[in-house]
Amino acid sequence: MIISSRQILLMWQFGSQHHKFPQFDFMSSAKRNKLNRFTTLPVLLDMLTKKRLAFSDPKFWDDENDTELLEIYRKKKNVNTLLALCFLEDYETIHHWKTFAGGINGCCIEFDKVMLTKLFSDHKSDGVKFGSVVYKKIECSEDGAIDDCEDMIPFKKRWPYRFEKEFRAIWCGREDNYAILNIDLAMITRITISQLMPNARFEKIKKNLSNVVAGKTEINQSTVYRNEEKWIDVFKKKFANHRG
C-alpha cells in the first residue's frame, strides 16, 4: 500500500494507533450508472416541457484550447456545424457548481447513463459521437506524441481540466442548424437545485417541477455549501461535550 505524504503527516500529528483514518471511495467513474449535467433552470425547463436535449455551441466556452480543437475537427470533417453536450461522470465538485451552474438558478440534472448513451448510440447515423474525455499533459503535443486517430480530437482536453471528469457528446452536420434529441423523461433520475436559491422559492420550483417530471425523479436542493444533517450536526454531536 502506498501512503501519501499528507497521510504520513496526519499519522504523525494524531497517532495512527488511536485514530481510524477515513476510508476513501476510489470507485471508478466508469462503474457509475449516472451522468450529471450542470446547467441553469431555463435550460432545465426547456428540456422538461419540450422533452428534448439541445446541443450547444462550443464557440462560447471559456476553455479556448478546447474550442480550437473542436474547430480543427470540424474543418477536418468538412462540416458546417459542430455542437456539443457535456456531462460529469463522477461525483460533484464545487467547481462544477460555480463554473457551469452558478447563481441561484443553477441546477444539476442526473441522467441514467445506460438510457442516455443508448439515445446517443441510436443517433450515430445522424452525426452523434460520444465518449469519455481523455486528459493529456502539454508534453503530449510535441511532434510525434499525438496519436493519429482524428476521431479522438473532440474527446481530448488539457491536463489541468482532469478533475472535470467529463463525458461528452458531439453532433456534426452540414447544415447550419441546431441538433435536438427527443428524450424520455424517465432517464432523468434526479434534479438538484442550487443551494443559493432561497428556500421559499425552491419549494415553489420543486412543486412545479414535480408536475412535469417522471414519478421516480428525485428533486432536492444542494447541500454543497452547507449540510447540517449529515456533516455539521455529526461533528456537533460527537464533540459537544469535548473541551480543548
Tens digit of each residue's pLDDT (9 = 90 or more) over 178-207: 789 999 999 999 999 999 999 999 999 999
Parallel/antiparallel/unpaired status of strands 180-182 and 52-54: antiparallel
Residue with the larger pLDDT of the pair 151 and 122? 122
CA–CA separation, 60 and 122 (whole Å): 28
Q: How confident is the model at residue 18 (pLDDT cuts 50, 70, 90)?
A: very low
Place of cell 448510440: 121
Parallel/antiparallel/unpaired status of strands 34-40 and 106-112: antiparallel
pLDDT above 90: residue 24: no
User: Of 120, 118, 113, 84, which Cα lies nearest the Cα of 100?
Assistant: 84
Straight-line distance from the first to the last Cα atom of the chain, in angstroms, rounded to the nearest whole number: 34
Residue with the larger pLDDT of the pair 240 and 157? 157
pLDDT above 60: residue 70: yes
CB-CB contact of 188 with 109 (8 Å): yes
Exposed, middle or buried: residue 85 (CB in 10 Å: 0-12, 13-18, 19+)? Answer: buried
pLDDT above 50: residue 68: yes
* Per-residue model confidence (pLDDT) at position 52: 96
CA–CA separation, 171 and 83 (whole Å): 5
* Per-residue model confidence (pLDDT) at position 155: 95
Residue 147 Cα to chain centre, angstroms: 26
pLDDT above 50: residue 34: yes
Chain mean pLDDT for the chain: 85
- Collapsing DSSP to helix, strand or coil, 176 comes out as coil
CB-CB contact of 103 with 109 (8 Å): no
